[in-house]
Every structure is written in structure tokens, then in C-alpha cells.
């Protein structure tokens, strides 16, 4: 084991101090740069909604589901054509709003819309109308009440 002489010890302490000072300066430069650079967090780019060609026959259904005027979340929205079974097309968000994607309908069709959530009944129980050939963007609201 070697021991440092009294002349080497101050020299070693001075080099150690210079090394610490350089490290602190480099750290300061990196910290200052990090505060001024834009965040390197990846940004999420949403794909655009599919565009519906002009004059494409079909419909979009939207509306609100409320319980005593407040939006009701988690309500399943279903559609049915005249000779077809019910199909889920949307679910209401935290504000009670729902919106279907574009539903292609090649011609005239009888359309029904209803909503469901366990423990609730809805007014009206459903909507039923004739969709004529063409594009339709329709709004149908439902009011919920708890089932005793």
C-alpha cells in the first residue's frame, strides 16, 4: 500500500476540485439546455375521420342520453333495419353524448334506434322512421329514469 507524500496530497486535492468544477459546469449546461429545448415527448397524430364521398347514401346518428338533465355515460345505442337484428352502433360518453360512425344504406330503409343500460328505462323507448335514399345526419335524444 502506498501513501501520498505531503506534496502530492495538495496536488491531488486540487485536481479533484477541478474535476468536480468541470462536472458541475457540464451538468449546468445540460440542465440549462434541457429547460430551453422543446419536450422530446412523442406527439400522437390522430388519423383523420374517414371522409364520406358526396351523395353517398346512409346516415349518422347522434344525440344525448340524460338522467334528470345530467349526461348518462355508458349507455349502449343500437340500430335496426326492417328485416335485420339489432346492432350496437355507439356508447354514450361521460356527458351522455353518442355518435355513430357513418352507416351505409343503399336505398330506402325503415330504421329503429334504441338505447339500453341496466337499471334504467328510457323515453322514448325507441325512434322509428323511414330513411329515404341519400345522406342523413340525424339527432335523437333519450331521457333515462331508474327502474324500481
Domain map (residue ranges) of the chain: 58-146
Q: What does residue 24 show for φ and ψ, rounded to 5 degrees?
A: -65, -40
pLDDT band at 73 (very low <50, low <70, confident <90, very high): very high
Can you tell me the mean pLDDT for 138-144? 97
**Contact 90/77 with Cβ under 8 angstroms?**
yes
| pLDDT, tens digit, 9 for 90 and up, residues 95-124 | 999 999 999 998 899 999 999 999 999 999
Q: How far is CA 107 from CA 10, 51, 101, 117, 148, in A?
A: 94, 20, 18, 31, 42
Which residue is associated with the grid cell 340524460?
66
Sign of the four-CA dihedral 10, 14, 19, 23: positive
- Fold of domain 58-146: Immunoglobulin-like (2.60.40)
d(C-alpha 83, C-alpha 120), whole Å: 27
Across 14-28, 39-53, 113-127, the highest mean pLDDT is recorded for 113-127
Strands 135-139 and 58-67: parallel
Look at residue 14 in the predicted model and tell me its pLDDT: 77
Distance, CA of 73 to CA of 75 (rounded, Å): 6
pTM: 0.64
User: Which pLDDT belongs to residue 148?
Assistant: 84
- Residue tagged 354514450 (cell numbers): 92
The residue assigned the cell 349507455 is 75
pLDDT surpassing 60 at residue 53: yes
pLDDT for res 6? 62
| pLDDT reported for residue 84 | 92
Amino acid at each position: 500500500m502506498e501513501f501520498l507524500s505531503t506534496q502530492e496530497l495538495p496536488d491531488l486535492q486540487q485536481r479533484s476540485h477541478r474535476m468536480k468544477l468541470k462536472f458541475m459546469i457540464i451538468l449546468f449546461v445540460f440542465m440549462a439546455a434541457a429547460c430551453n429545448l422543446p419536450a422530446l415527448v412523442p406527439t400522437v397524430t390522430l388519423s383523420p375521420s374517414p371522409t364520406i364521398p358526396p351523395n353517398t347514401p346512409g346516415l349518422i346518428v347522434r344525440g344525448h342520453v340524460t338522467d334528470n338533465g345530467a349526461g348518462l355515460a355508458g349507455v349502449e345505442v343500437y340500430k335496426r333495419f326492417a328485416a335485420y337484428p339489432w346492432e350496437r352502433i355507439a356508447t354514450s360518453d361521460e356527458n351522455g353524448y353518442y355518435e355513430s360512425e357513418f352507416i351505409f344504406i343503399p336505398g330506402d330503409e325503415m330504421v329503429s334506434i334504441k338505447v339500453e343500460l341496466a337499471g334504467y328505462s328510457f323515453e322514448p323507448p325507441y325512434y322509428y322512421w323511414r330513411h329515404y335514399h341519400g345522406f342523413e345526419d340525424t339527432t335523437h335524444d333519450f331521457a333515462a329514469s331508474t327502474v324500481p
